[in-house]
Structure 1
């Protein structure tokens, strides 16, 4: 059986259930529509932003987000601190930092007081590429949102913030770091 096209409607909501299964309630349908819209919006913004950053700076969104954190914390961050800020696993951060180090954008050093731990910090080259990427990020975000009135952006931001708190998703910081990576 094929999946219904989005959004779910009264006409197609029964199509996603096997014979004998309980159909969705109105509340469940509304929740599913909301969920799919959030996923669709995230995918559109993420994909376009990733394309713009790759084309203009050679950075993925994941690399941009890591550099954004290291830009904010110029003294560097431990792998665990960076992992927590990016909301990804330590393994993901290790691979990401290794790639950024290979690119010359990040330096890795042994953490003071714990020879088993490393700290990552942004290099001069990392600062330069981050500033280029930040301008691209701002341009792409503005391009995507230019037709939405400021009061709507504020209202939607407040609504999403409230929903985020309701469902206990950690808030992102001012850099807009993504919740998922790679």
Structure 2
């Protein structure tokens, strides 16, 4: 186990309403109604679909650091993974939160200005360790493997943002 960042796209009004019901939001993110065997059997594990939750696994904090150079939220569009959005339970750090369509679109525009190489070339495992980035000690053991792992999840994150921007979707997300 560990802390993962998970998101599921939805029309803005639906996503905003969903985070008012914590249990409902968690159930919707877990998506027990989907055929997970078929999803997991896909050859391309990085496919992104509007009606399915997307999981960045434990890469979220490393990606945030590569995008912003910070361990904490900055309020800037590239800080979307950690920016402070409306939560179902404001005092619960693991509470589902609402990502508005405008935030996802702004993130898409900002990340589209950067290539994968530009972002991944920022990988500095010692700086990550110094900043106390989640799982940085694992990244430090094998920087090449960390780059591959972060690169794969960066591609997923790009596709989520592109899909959200194209369809003007918001999302329900959680860091749990």
TM-score bracket, shorter-length normalisation: under 0.3
TM-score (normalised: structure 2)? 0.26
Higher relative contact order (CA 8 A, sep 6+): 2
Which is greater in Rg?
Answer: 1
